[in-house]
Amino acid sequence: MPVNYIDMARTFKSNAEQVGIVQGHRLCPGCGAPIIAKFTLMTAKKLGFEPVVGLATGCLEVSTTIYPYTAWTVPYIHNAFENVAATMSGVETAAKSLKKFGEIPEDRKFAFIAFAGDGGTYDIGLQSLSGMVERGHKVLYVLYDNEGYMNTGNQRSGGTPTGSNTTTAPVGKVIPGKVQIKKSIVDIIGAHEGVYAATASISDPADFFAKVEKALNFDGPSFIAALSPCTRFWRIPDSATNSVSKLAVETKYWPLYEIDRGVYRVTRKPRQFKPLIEFLKAQGRFKPLLSRPDADEIVNKLQEYVDKRWERLLALEEATKDKYLR
C-alpha cells in the first residue's frame, strides 16, 4: 500500500513514535538534515518497517546525541567518519544470519538506514559505500548533502559546488573559490549493478516519500541524495531552507531523478526553469564570487553546465527506457 501523503503530513506533526527522530536536538534552526531524517524514517514506519539507523560522523550525528540526551527513538549506531556503509553492511548481514538461525522471527521487517553527510559520502566514505552497494546489502543510504564539511566549520568537500566560498577554498582575488565541479554522486552509485539511486529535495515531499518507499521496497541496496541547506554556511536566513531547496530544483541545480538498475527516470520536469543566478544570489556563500569582476563569465559557464546536464539526463532517460540491467 503506497503511503498516503495527507496521513504523512499529520504524522510529521505528531508523536515521536511515528517519526523516529524527535525535537530537542541541537541542530541549527532551519537545518535540512533533521527534516531529511524525519521524512525517511516516517515513511519507513508508515510502510511497517522497523528502522535501524547508522550514522557517519557529521552534524546530524554530533547534534542529535549530546550526552545524556538522544533525539533518536529507533536503534542507532555511530562508528566513524568513513565507515557507516560498512558498519550497516555488518548489521544487515547479522540480522539475516540471526533470522536464518531462528534468533529473530522471519517476519520482522527491518529497514536498515544509513545517514551521512557529503564529506562522509563523496570523500572519505566512498570506498565503504561502493563496497556496500557492490556486495548488495539491503541498506538504504541517505545522503544529506549540505555541500561542505559544515561540522568542522565549512571546509570544501567533493560535494561543494563550483565558486562556493569555503574556508579551505576561499574566494580571493586570484582563485575564485572552489574551481572543481561537484561530483555527480547519484550517477556514481547508479553505475553499480542492481542498485536504486535517486536525488530528492525536501521542497518536494511527495517525490521524497515516493523515492524512500521505492528504495525500501527495492530488492537490494539503495541510495538517496537529498539536498540539505545549511543556513549557517550557505549564509541564508533560517526561514529560507525550503525556498532555497525549491530554487535548486527550479534552476536545474538539483534535478530530481532516479536510476533504477540502470534505467534513468527524471521524476520532476518543471515546465519553466529559472536562471541559475537566482539560486546563487539567494545565498551568501556565493556573494564573494558574484562580486568578482569575472562573475558573469563564471556564472554563464555554470548555467551552461546545468543546461547540458539537464539535456543529458533527458537523453539518458530516453535511451535507457525499459532497459533494466539485471
Partner 1 sequence: MPKMVLMQGDEAAALGAIRAGCRFYAGYPITPASEIAEVMSRELPKVGGVFIQMEDEIASAAAIIGASLAGVKSMTATSGPGFSLMQEAIGYAVMTETPTVFVNVMRGGPSTGLPTKPSQGDIMQARWGTHGDHAIIALYPSSVQEIYKYIITAFNLAEKYRTPVVFLMDETLGHMRENFIMPSEREVFIYNRLREEQIKEEEVFLPYETEEYAEPTPQPLVEMGKARFHVSGLIHDEAGFPMANPDIADRLVRRLVEKIRLHADEISIYDEYMTEDAEVLIIAYGITARSAMRAVKIARNDRIKVGLFRPITIWPVPRTRLKELLSRVNSVIIAEMNLGQYAHEVLSLTKNDVRVKLVNKVNGELITPQEILDAVTELQSGIVGYY
Shortest gap between Cβ of 283 and partner 1 (angstroms)? 20
Query: Quick one: which of 175, 188, 183, 122 has its CA closest to 149?
Result: 122
Shortest gap between Cβ of 156 and partner 1 (angstroms)? 6
Between 233 and 262, how does the x/- string for binding to partner 1 read (CB under 8 A)? ------------------------------
Nearer to partner 1, 117 or 255 (CB): 117
Q: Express the helix, strand and coil content of the chain in percent, nearest 5 each.
A: 40, 15, 45
Between 157 and 186, how does the x/- string for binding to partner 1 read (CB under 8 A)? -x--------xxxx-x-xx-----------
DSSP string of 275-305, one letter each residue: -HHHHHHT-GGGHHHHTSTTHHHHHHHHHHH
**Cell 565541479 sits at which residue?**
181
* Under rule CB under 8 A, residue 147 binds partner 1: no
- Give the binding range for partner 1 (CB under 8 A) out of 146-154, 185-193, 278-286, 293-301: 146-154
* Under rule CB under 8 A, residue 118 binds partner 1: no
Between 76 and 95, how does the x/- string for binding to partner 1 read (CB under 8 A)? --x-xxx-------------
* Under rule CB under 8 A, residue 32 binds partner 1: no
153-183: b (≥16 Cβ within 10 Å) or e: ebbbbbbbbbbbbbeebebeeeebbbeeebb
- Give the binding range for partner 1 (CB under 8 A) out of 155-163, 249-257, 270-278, 288-296: 155-163
Shortest gap between Cβ of 80 and partner 1 (angstroms)? 6
Distance CA 203, CA 219 (A): 27
Nearer to partner 1, 82 or 258 (CB): 82
- What ranges in the chain are assigned the alpha helix state H? 5-13, 16-19, 33-46, 59-64, 84-100, 126-135, 185-190, 205-217, 241-250, 276-281, 287-290, 295-320
Cα dihedral sign, 90-218-317-226: negative
Instruction: Indicate which single residue of 3, 85, 111, 124 sits in contact with partner 1 (rule: CB under 8 A).
Output: 124
By CB under 8 A, name the binding residues for partner 1: 57, 62, 78, 80-82, 119, 122-124, 126, 149, 152-153, 155-156, 158, 167-170, 172, 174-175
